[in-house]
Chain A
Amino acid sequence: MRVDIDNMEVTVIIVMLLSLSEATNIGDMSARSKNRGKGSMWWGIAKAGEPNNLSPLSPGVPYLDSSAYYGTLRRKQRRLARENPGLLDAIAKGAKMAINECQFQFRNQRWNCSTRNFLRGKNLFGKIVDRGCRETSFIYAITSAAVTHAIARACSEGTIDTCNCDTHYKGRPQVFANGNNAAAVANVRDFEWGGCSDNIGFGFDVSREFVDTGERGKSLREKINLHNNEAGRWHVQSQMRQECKCHGMSGSCTVKTCWMRLPSFRVIGDLLKDRFDGASHVTASNGGNGRNNNKGHSNRLKHPRMNSIMSNSIHAKRENRRKLHKYNFQLKPFNPEHKPPGVKDLVYYEMSPGFCEKNPKLGIQGTHGRHCNDTSMGVEGCDIMCCGRGYRTQEIVVVERCNCTFHWCCEVKCDICRTRKTIHTCV
């Protein structure tokens, strides 16, 4: 309880920032037919079809106006969306979650994952994604992770008809597309004990199909994007656990109920941020070393997946057979003495640009007007954040909830407090 309240202050401010930044983006939905080659156009659906970008998808409206989405999607993505009703809503939710998490993780850094420059024909995160730097790798990883997470969660909620707690995803998702509840329930029998454990598998597979679809080429750039997408998914996969419990007379096991425990997306954001800090610098592999490294890569691919699905050997078997060799390449570390990047590592091949000054060519806002902490010596400190330009100090009044108490059961009642706060902004 305590922790939540401490966070709340932060979230209030973030929400304020967000609402400011996103107010400018409404209506930027039109003509993006150029730049189709980029696989990351789908990020745009985070902003599609919603007058208010902040509120989560309301449960009362099962499917949003999908035509708004379609402008940003490739053919294959559209097909997936068509075959799996409800998928697009989950992906949109995931994309939003990714943006929020990225902005949370980078709230104190010079680059704050802003999505302000969502202009015509450009990517949601701006031109920074055209480069192959650390920040780009994080964006790719977190969006792909968020999609996996959101799909898995939607599965357990039953909002994607082709995947719910009852049915296996066997590569032909349209089988149960009728969405009839009774039919879905009847398919419980097909599902061996495991409850909703396979949702993450569905999330993983669909995220692969959907997110990676644009990265078909053989260039280093695309391989890096694939690797980072994959890294994001692995982090979700490895954090997820299935828990089962037996019920029956005096501890016997007449019925078994299972449910999944997907960590909150914050956990995954934290993990990816750690990987961001230790991201591997890679370079184009020159010819010969693809051979010996292939082995290493496929081994690595095998283990985390197996560990995470260990609880159900049937799954492990199936997964191995199916998807081992899809991404059969190995990236070479820039410094030959370093280890080749693992499947969960983020990789980049270009150095990050400076984020201090406004750079329209790269779509960088600069740190002008950012908040900073005058007492901190870290990246959020005013010295580093403002790149030595100095900062302004002013006093503002923040309205927030306070003195929250938990009332049985189950609501939290809070007072509304007005707090005077001193904030520092970079000039």
Chain B
Amino acid sequence: MHSSEWFETDESLLFYDDNIILEETSQGVWEDCVAPSIFSVAYFLSQLVLVNFIFALFVSTVRLKKELFHLLSGVCGLYLIYQLEFYEGKLLLILVFSSSYLVLILIDLLQKALSLLGKEKIHRTSYFSSSNIIKYTLIVILVLCEYFLMNAATWLEIRGLVMVFSMKLISLVDDMEKDIVQFPSFFNYFGYIFCGANVIFGPWISFDEYNLMYDKPTRKNFRWMFSIVRTLAISLFFLTVSNCFCNYVIDGEMPVFLQSYKEALSFRTSHYFVSFLSEVTMLSAGYKNSKIWNEPDKWRYEIVNPLKIEYPTALATVVTHWNKPMHDFLKKYVYRSWLPLGKFYAILATFVMSSFLHGFELKVSVVLITIGIFSYLQFALREYFAGAFDCCMRVHPCKGCCKHKHKREALLSICFRLLFTLTNVIHLVYLGMLMDSSTDEIGIINKWRSLYFISFWLMSINVSIILQI
């Protein structure tokens, strides 16, 4: 049946054949999805990059007055907020953000009054410390917005911005309380809150880090521009994966686990898109990781590490690498303040705080708190196994010389770690699929039922091992 003597005469046929393959598969995805997806954000992204780029160039070439610098930074952010495609909520954002300076003053006055009354400075762990007041007020406001004050669509649009704002405010008040920073001038505060580099997509940066740009502007060079383009490309790549290729590779007729995997993957890649985009805005405004601040050749502002999440060796690493600035924020301002009560409570409090920052939206909170508990349990199980099998397989490799019988590279350790990675993939699917918008119609329980509550079974095995043996 197969031979080659007819080959030469029929090359024309093969040519047409090629065209047909091309037309029926990938081309449609490009034309119908990739191009329109990129098109529909292209204008906003270009504004985002350009505004910050111009800001960075301006700051590094002209030595501005302090007030002018902060004003410029804030105006960039205001302009970008104005560029957002919201119908409502924009004005509200601007009003709330600006008037929060009054709150700052009020709190300061309150502290002074209280300390006069009590004749001593309020201790920062007390309930009436300004950081606690601001935290709980913000939580109440966020939850009220989520459930009562605003309509769901509008709130969803502005929630990201409000979260970044809340984190900035909490960290600022906390830092002031610890006397790390002085009470900011209005311009300084305005520039920090509306900073064009992070007002839209985050990331959270500390007040000090923001001011570092004025005190010591980064040196801009060719690598800087290259890094912007590269990060933007990565970001858009993840956008197309999230919007298009997920659907294209896993179509509607495949088994339910793959469907769930698709939903989770689509959510994760959407998050990578946003995270890399926020890295783009930070880079184009001239910010970079403080570790490499003085190295003009290195340009990164690491927010997410997709590799660590797509190949999840431990749930704890997923949590850490999901959004590093936010992780740092939670660690510094929540975890540490709860640590005296014990590690488990501190972790739980962190995740609860994180879900409060999300307005305590049901699905987000369920995901966050579940992943918090799971990562703790997994951490404990791995500690236990490491002892029981005398095998180096903790979440974090042993510091220095490993004293276990089986080293990190031993077969036993590798097998165990692979096993954990596999279960983590399942956990991520199980939790990530809730973030898909279809959850609002189908319901969390129904979605989990379709996967037979697999993660809970896995975790109950986990718990029973810890408890019984």
Inter-subunit contact A259/B160 (CB<8 Å): no
- Shortest Cβ distance from residue B353 to the other chain A in the assembled complex, whole angstroms: 13
The interface-forming segment of A115-123, A151-159, A224-232, A292-300 is A151-159
| Bound complex: CA A156 to CA B31 (Å) | 6
Q: By DSSP majority rule, is chain B's interface helix, strand, loop, or mixed? A: helix
Which of chain B's residues has its CB closest to A193's CB? B85
Additional A-B contacts beyond A248-B201, A250-B364, A252-B160 (19; CB < 8 A): A12-B13, A12-B17, A15-B20, A16-B13, A157-B31, A158-B35, A164-B39, A195-B36, A245-B270, A249-B202, A249-B274, A250-B271, A253-B157, A253-B159, A254-B157, A255-B41, A399-B14, A401-B14, A420-B1
Whether B267 is near chain A, meaning CB under 8 Å from some CB there, is yes
Whether B437 is near chain A, meaning CB under 8 Å from some CB there, is yes
Inter-subunit contact A251/B42 (CB<8 Å): no
29 A–B contact pairs at CB < 8 A? Answer: A4-B24, A8-B17, A15-B13, A15-B16, A15-B17, A16-B13, A156-B36, A157-B31, A157-B35, A195-B40, A196-B40, A245-B243, A245-B266, A247-B274, A248-B156, A249-B160, A249-B323, A252-B160, A253-B160, A254-B200, A257-B37, A259-B36, A260-B36, A262-B32, A397-B6, A399-B14, A417-B2, A418-B5, A419-B1
Inter-subunit contact B17/A247 (CB<8 Å): no
Inter-subunit contact A251/B435 (CB<8 Å): yes
Inter-subunit contact A254/B201 (CB<8 Å): yes
Q: Which of A54, A192, A260, A397 is the one whose CB lies under 8 Å from B32?
A: A260
Inter-subunit contact B32/A416 (CB<8 Å): no
Inter-subunit contact B16/A4 (CB<8 Å): no
Q: By DSSP majority rule, is chain A's interface helix, strand, loop, or mixed? A: mixed
Inter-subunit contact B157/A251 (CB<8 Å): no
Inter-subunit contact A264/B43 (CB<8 Å): no
- Shortest Cβ distance from residue B116 to the other chain A in the assembled complex, whole angstroms: 40
Cβ contacts under 8 Å, B42 to chain A: 185, 188
The 6 closest A-B pairs by CB, nearest first: A188-B43, A195-B40, A249-B160, A252-B159, A259-B36, A252-B160
Whether B28 is near chain A, meaning CB under 8 Å from some CB there, is yes
Inter-subunit contact B364/A399 (CB<8 Å): no
Interface centre among B19, B40, B270, B271 (most CB of A within 10 A): B40
| Bound complex: CA A262 to CA B36 (Å) | 12
With known contacts A254-B84, A259-B32, A248–B160 Cβ distance under 8 A: yes
Inter-subunit contact A185/B46 (CB<8 Å): yes
Cβ contacts under 8 Å, B270 to chain A: 245-247
Cβ contacts under 8 Å, A257 to chain B: 37, 40-41, 239, 243
Which of chain A's residues has its CB closest to B269's CB? A247
- Shortest Cβ distance from residue B49 to the other chain A in the assembled complex, whole angstroms: 13
With known contacts A15-B13, A252-B157, A399-B6, A156–B85 Cβ distance under 8 A: no
Interface centre among A186, A253, A260 (most CB of B within 10 A): A253
Q: Which of A55, A256, A399 is the one whose CB lies under 8 Å from B10?
A: A399
Inter-subunit contact A259/B28 (CB<8 Å): no
Inter-subunit contact B17/A401 (CB<8 Å): yes
Q: Which of B20, B157, B202 is the one whose CB lies under 8 Å from A8?
A: B20
| Bound complex: CA A185 to CA B40 (Å) | 9
Whether B125 is near chain A, meaning CB under 8 Å from some CB there, is no
Cβ contacts under 8 Å, A7 to chain B: 24
Number of A-B contacts (CB under 8 A): 168
- Shortest Cβ distance from residue B29 to the other chain A in the assembled complex, whole angstroms: 10
Question: Interface code B162-194, partner A: CB below 8 Å = 1, 0 otherwise?
Answer: 011000000000000000000000000000000
Inter-subunit contact A11/B17 (CB<8 Å): yes
Cβ contacts under 8 Å, B158 to chain A: 252
Cβ contacts under 8 Å, A55 to chain B: 19
Q: Which of A16, A246, A410, A420 is the one whose CB lies under 8 Å from B437?
A: A246
Q: Which of A56, A254, A259 is the one whose CB lies under 8 Å from B23?
A: A56
Inter-subunit contact B16/A261 (CB<8 Å): no
Cβ contacts under 8 Å, B10 to chain A: 399
| Bound complex: CA A258 to CA B244 (Å) | 11
Whether B44 is near chain A, meaning CB under 8 Å from some CB there, is yes
Whether A412 is near chain B, meaning CB under 8 Å from some CB there, is yes
Whether A165 is near chain B, meaning CB under 8 Å from some CB there, is yes
Which of chain B's residues has its CB closest to A248's CB? B160
- Shortest Cβ distance from residue A239 to the other chain B in the assembled complex, whole angstroms: 12
| Bound complex: CA A118 to CA B371 (Å) | 68
Whether B26 is near chain A, meaning CB under 8 Å from some CB there, is yes
| Bound complex: CA A166 to CA B42 (Å) | 10
Q: Which of A54, A153, A192, A252 is the one whose CB lies under 8 Å from B156?
A: A252
Which of chain A's residues has its CB closest to B43's CB? A188
Interface centre among B16, B23, B39, B158 (most CB of A within 10 A): B39
Among A398-414, those with CB < 8 Å from B are 399-401, 410, 412
Inter-subunit contact A192/B85 (CB<8 Å): yes
Cβ contacts under 8 Å, B17 to chain A: 8, 11-12, 15, 400-401
| Bound complex: CA A165 to CA B14 (Å) | 35
Cβ contacts under 8 Å, A248 to chain B: 156, 159-160, 201, 274
With known contacts A195-B40, A248-B201, A249-B202, A4–B19 Cβ distance under 8 A: no
Whether A189 is near chain B, meaning CB under 8 Å from some CB there, is yes
Among B43-61, those with CB < 8 Å from A are 43-44, 46
With known contacts A253-B157, A417-B2, A166–B39 Cβ distance under 8 A: yes
Inter-subunit contact B7/A247 (CB<8 Å): no
Question: Interface code B423-438, partner A: CB below 8 Å = 1, 0 otherwise?
Answer: 0000000000001010
Whether B21 is near chain A, meaning CB under 8 Å from some CB there, is yes
Cβ contacts under 8 Å, B363 to chain A: 251
Question: Interface code A43-69, partner B: CB below 8 Å = 1, 0 otherwise?
Answer: 000000000001110000000000000
- Shortest Cβ distance from residue B411 to the other chain A in the assembled complex, whole angstroms: 28
| Bound complex: CA A104 to CA B85 (Å) | 45
Interface centre among A186, A251, A410, A416 (most CB of B within 10 A): A251
- Shortest Cβ distance from residue B203 to the other chain A in the assembled complex, whole angstroms: 9
Cβ contacts under 8 Å, A165 to chain B: 35-36, 39-40
Cβ contacts under 8 Å, B13 to chain A: 12, 15-16, 399-400
- Shortest Cβ distance from residue B388 to the other chain A in the assembled complex, whole angstroms: 37
Inter-subunit contact B24/A399 (CB<8 Å): no
Inter-subunit contact B32/A156 (CB<8 Å): yes
Cβ contacts under 8 Å, A247 to chain B: 239, 242, 270, 273-274
- Shortest Cβ distance from residue A381 to the other chain B in the assembled complex, whole angstroms: 26
Whether B33 is near chain A, meaning CB under 8 Å from some CB there, is yes
| Bound complex: CA A215 to CA B244 (Å) | 40
Which of chain B's residues has its CB closest to A416's CB? B7
| Bound complex: CA A19 to CA B16 (Å) | 10
Which of chain B's residues has its CB closest to A18's CB? B16
Q: Which of A54, A195, A245, A259 is the one whose CB lies under 8 Å from B16?
A: A54
Among A1-20, those with CB < 8 Å from B are 4, 7-8, 11-12, 15-16, 19
Inter-subunit contact B164/A258 (CB<8 Å): no
Among B219-272, those with CB < 8 Å from A are 239, 242-244, 266-267, 270-271
